[in-house]
Structure 1
Amino acid sequence: MEGVSPEPLRSELDSKSKHDTAKEDDDALKDSTEAEVTKIRLMRAFVESRDPSSKEENDLMMRRFLRARSLDVEKASAMFLKYLKWKRSFVPNGCISPSEIAEDIAQDKVFTQGLDKKGRPIVVTFAAKHFQSKNGADGFKRYVVFVLEKLCSRMPPGQEKFLAIADIKGWAYVNSDLRGYLNSLSILQDCYPERLGKMLIVHAPYMFMKIWKMIYPFIDENTKKKIVFVENKKLKSTLLEEIEESQIPDIYGGQMPLVPIQNS
């Protein structure tokens, strides 16, 4: 625009974006109980006194950590402060670059597309396409963060959770990565609490259950309630309980083609 400096325009746009985001957060917080609202304030005052960077995080995040710790302010605050420290050290640039996780991206094992009946993004993981990273544990952990951030970015306003379909078809011991599974679980539970809405485990072979028995004790009680093993003969009917047919992935008889997570 002739005669107008771009800086004021950028400042105005940033201000408008922050205003819109704040309004969306306020709308999403309307379903909070009085106890939650009170404890969000208490938690915010506490964590901001310990780590000033927590001022940048919104009340929705505070609420997720509180809910993950049954509204115990002390436990939720400790969990949240630990998360902030982890984020600074593990994701110093604020995001994971695809170049950092090229090996995992090349395996083409996580896809996304569509929303379930509650408006939650759908993610599909294929366990038989996963192999232990040659770059060590941190490589796969970075991939997990990349996937979770992609899912969070796809959530409609007012939505905080996603629905996962874990497809174990064709899984063999060569795909077994107990450390990788436990690291994924730890990141999900400790750094992205209350983001998983539901997980449907499909096509699970018998030998996978041996690994599952080793993972299960590390799953917290809230997460356990969200995990469902689906019988092969009930796959389509179970998906239809959660997802409209137009949004069900086409590989399960629906109409939605899957897109690799890195392209979403």
Structure 2
Amino acid sequence: MFRRWSNSLHDDQENDELKHESKINELKAALGQLSGRSLKYCTDECLKRYLDARNGNVGKSKKMLEETLKWRSTYKPGEIHWKEVAVEGETGKVFRANFHDRHGRTVLILRPGLQNTTSNDNQIRHLVYLMENAILNLPEGQEQMAWLIDFTGWSLSTNVPIKSARETINILQNHYPERLAVAFLYSPPRIFEAFWKIVKYFLDSKTFQKVKFVYPMNKESVELMRSYFDVDNLPTEFGGKATLKYDHDEFSRMMIEDDEKTATFWGSSDKLKHGSSNGYSGAEVVAEPTSLAPPAS
């Protein structure tokens, strides 16, 4: 009985793999001949993410992917250098953590209460840069990242405008499909509710389901978060036991090294010219990856 069930399960898995492979090949054919960075970008894993984002509809996936390729050719996220956005990172409002979640995913920590600039365009470029960097540092075989958002010090005065929030969400959903595994919003203040009531309508259903609110006094939400993170790795700001540190100088050095890896991956012949950055004490970050992950999407 168990053997028949096991064989049936194995057959179902093989059928799913064949269906995925067939859809990927169909999408490849629909896209036609690609070259240069577009060819390098459109790996099988990338095509699968776009298919998953559009529930396997090849036509919709093709349209979505073509729009991303157009966006990448003009916005050039892979060519943003740390020196261009380093000022945005001086307070550690967004950075890559020195730990992974229980699934081995790269973690981005966001602290909107530490907003330190007024240029919404550069704030978005900074976040895009760090998403690309998080993907660059994904462990082999891992496709997604996790976000931890700390609302300490957040107020309406540090809040991003609705227009910028919508643009950020559109970039995440349309050009980085299936890259976000989960986003934990930790202890948001009551005044955030009015902002959220507007922003949530910009989220598609899949992204909306990935957003989790966690309140320290709500046992169920705390347990959900701890099912994703080891409490010994989790900073105290998120209910864990670890110390959250951000050292801007150290983080900048790592980003500059990663800029060189990114340029090598994409075949950029431009020589990166790096300037010095002003520091803010304290961040531990993930060790350098031993190999490059698949290109970002």
Instruction: Tell me the TM-score normalized by structure 2.
Output: 0.71
- The equivalent of 1:14 in structure 2 is none
Out of 155, 158, 168, the position equivalent to 2:138 is: 155
Match status 1:247 vs 2:230: no
Residue matched to 2:209: 225
RMSD across aligned C-alpha pairs, in angstroms? 2.3
Residue by residue, what CA displacement relative to the aligned partner does 1:72-116 show, whole Å, maximum 9, x if unpaired?
111111110110111111117x33112221331223201312111
Q: Which amino acid aligns with 1:78?
A: K
Please point out which of 99, 123, 141 is paired with 2:124. 141
Contact 1:39 1:73 in 2 (8 A): yes
2:110 alignment partner in structure 1? 125
| Alpha-carbon distance in structure 2 between the residues aligned to 1:143 and 1:31 | 41
Structure 2 residue matching 1:144: 3-state secondary structure: helix
Deviates more, 1:172-181 or 1:243-252: 243-252
> Judging changes above 3 Å, is the alpha-carbon distance between structure 1 residues 236 and 216 closer, same or farther for their aligned structure 2 residues?
closer
Structure 2 CA distance for aligned equivalents of residues 157 and 221 of structure 1: 28
User: Is the counterpart of residue 89 in structure 1 residue 70 in structure 2?
Assistant: no
Q: Which residue of 2 aligns with 1:173?
A: 156
Residue identity opposite 2:226 in structure 1: L
Aligned residue type for 2:124: K
Q: 1:32 to 1:250 in 2, by over 3 A?
A: farther
Residues of 2 paired with 1:129 and 1:74: CA distance?
42
Structure 1 portions without partners, runs of 5+? 1-29
C-alpha offsets along residues 121-176 of structure 1, whole Å, 9 cap, x if unaligned? 12211111125633xx4312211211101111221111011111111222111112
**Contact in 2 for aligned 1:239/1:248 (Cα 8 Å):** no
- 3-state SS, counterpart of residue 123 of structure 1: strand
Secondary structure, aligned partner of 1:173: coil
Runs of 4+ in 1 over 6 A off after TM superposition: none
Alpha-carbon distance change, 154 to 37 in structure 1, aligned in 2, over 3 angstroms: same
Specify the SS of the correspondent of 1:247.
Answer: coil
For 1:179, the aligned partner's letter is K
Contact 1:140 1:180 in 2 (8 A): no
Alpha carbons 2:182, 2:210 under 8 Å: kept? yes
Within 2, Cα distance between the matches of 1:180 and 1:107? Answer: 20
Percent of residue pairs bearing the same amino acid type: 25
Q: How does 1:4-19 map to 2 (within 5 A)?
A: none
Contact 2:113–2:154 (Cα < 8 Å) also in 1: yes
Compare 75-84 and 95-104 and name the one that shifted more: 95-104
Within the alignment, does 1:62 sit opposite 2:32 as a pair? no
Q: In 1, distance between residues paired with 2:135 and 2:246?
A: 16
2:175 counterpart of 1:186: no
Cα pair 1:117 1:244 within 8 Å, conserved? yes
Partners of 2:215 and 2:233 lie apart in 1 by: 20
- Post-superposition offset of 1:250: 4.5
Q: Which has the higher contact order (CA 8 A, sep 6+)?
A: 2
Which residue of 2 is the match for residue 24 of structure 1? none
Aligned pairs (5 A) from 1:68-83: 68-83=53-68
**C-alpha spacing 1:118/1:210, structure 2 compared with 1 (3 Å):** same
